[in-house]
Chain A
Amino acid sequence: MYDFYCTNSIKTWIIMTISHSYVSDKFFLLLISYFCTFRNAVLEFECNKLGHSIPAARKTGTTICGVVFKDGIVLGADTRATEGMIVADKNCSKIHYISPNIYCCGAGTAADTEMTTQIISSNLELHSLSTGRLPRVATANRMLKQMLFRYQGHIGAALVLGGVDCNGPHLYSIYPHGSTDKLPYVTMGSGSLAAMAVFEDRYEQNMEEEDAKRLVRDAIAAGIFNDLGSGSNIDLCVITKGKVDYLRPHDMANKKGVRTGDYKYKRGTTGVLAKAVTKLDLEVVEETVQTMDTS
């Protein structure tokens, strides 16, 4: 709950408290619980009336993609999270765990994808404990699309869901409003067109694992170099029956340079002419111990 007191300096208080509540990366921007939601909508309106806009949500910009190969799925993602025009996180993890055999890449608002995948992961775990079986990708897909449709696109989460279950490898793309597509190769995010161009050129059915990894790596690299919202490293996740390889980072496409020069002067640069040492005599006058109030 983010109650605050409206003092005379209403502007500063509103900005301070709103920025405090919105900047934290795990803070759930989507307004769900009744009291918080509608008060937040009122706060936003009051804020805009005074002429200030609320700080931008942290989006992941992003290039994410997935491909089905002979034995399973390869998911790929870049690692940059942006906040307006600034890079908020140079190495964020966009491939989220849903279940031991299902992983999900998320584009859109960072908090939305994070919380959505965590909730679905918990629900899927409860469901699989109840059925006693390994969860299926179609179940995760159905849970996600029902939740996203319920919130009518206000949850800004565009996901690429992939996994291997008893029926083989499956790959779905899920849009924020709740529509899903089941395809052999999908891309999402702001760099999706760049990545899709690479896929359309070089995708074949029943690729080998190394070819599939190279293809996904190149697709994400295309997104990283041609889209401002994507950057830094390339993460891969290879899911096959019984095995998951989470390669983070698989490839560091944008390495930060190493400084070649140094402005610090080495000792002895300036010659020492004379040295005089004066000791300061300090004596201990009083020694007290103050215990912490740990009650």
Chain B
Amino acid sequence: MNTRGLRSQLKDSVPVTGLGTQIGAYGVQDTLRSGFSSVKNELLPSHALELSEKNFQLNQDKMNFSTLRNIQGLHAPLKLQMEYRAARQIQRLPFLQSSHLALDTLKGNDESISFEDILNDPAQSEMMGEPHIMVEYKLGLM
């Protein structure tokens, strides 16, 4: 096995909420809610497209910003990113679904439909975070 090759495939430690095995009742891993657990799957990608899809939007943005910088100068991506940051702050409380309307309009996602709009609809999600805990965490009271 080419360990160097494997290492290049290791997922970056991007902090994602809810990662790691969930401890359910009786102190055992909750298979019903969090699926099978496998150390391998948390380190190496389990699908060939996992890493590429996870970073797709980031890479597209990077490419677009660098093109914009080359054409219009440094101010263009800076102003655009500032607008994105402002628009990203328009959202509801953490446990509710925000529409991200302003952000979508800025990014041009209001004129396209993709798999993120059809599959894994958050409105159909079976789990919801604990409202009090999530708000306390967001406000930094925890």
Q: How far is the CB of B32 from chain A (nearest CB, A)?
A: 5
| Contact of B3 with A by CB under 8 A | no
Chain A CB within 8 A of B89 CB: no
Report A-chain residues with C-beta under 8 Å of the C-beta of B50: 34, 37-38
Number of residue pairs A-B, CB distance < 8 angstroms? 69
A152 touches B49 (CB 8 A): yes
Residue A56, interface by CB 8 Å: no
Chain A residue numbers with a CB within 8 Å of B132 are: none
Tell me if A123 counts as interface (CB < 8 A to partner B): yes
Contact of A38 with B112 at beta-carbon distance under 8 Å, contacts A3-B126, A31-B47, A154-B48 already known: no
Q: A123 to B113, Cβ gap below 8 A? A: yes
Number of interface residues of B (CB under 8 A): 29
Chain A 36-47, CB-CB to B under 8 Å as 1, else 0, gives 111101110110
* B31 lies within 8 A of chain A by Cβ: yes
Let me know if B114 is at the binding interface, CB within 8 A.
Answer: yes
Closest CB-CB distance, A131 to chain B, in whole Å? 10
B111 at the interface (CB under 8 A from A): yes
Q: How far is the CA of A39 from the CA of B41 in the complex (A)?
A: 9
A43: chain B residues at CB < 8 Å are: 36
Report the Cα distance A151→B48, complex, angstroms: 10
Q: Does A6 contact B (CB under 8 A)?
A: yes
Q: Is B53 an interface residue (CB 8 A)?
A: yes
Interface digits, B37-76 against A, CB 8 Å rule (1 contact, 0 not)?
0100100011111101110100000000000000000000
Instruction: Kindly list the 10 A-B residue pairs having the minimum CB-CB distance in the complex, ordered from nearest.
Output: A33-B120, A32-B115, A33-B119, A41-B46, A38-B46, A41-B47, A122-B113, A39-B35, A126-B111, A42-B36
A120 closest partner in B (C-beta)? B113
Closest-by-CB residue of A relative to B112 is: A123
**Distance of B41 from chain A, by nearest CB (Å):** 6
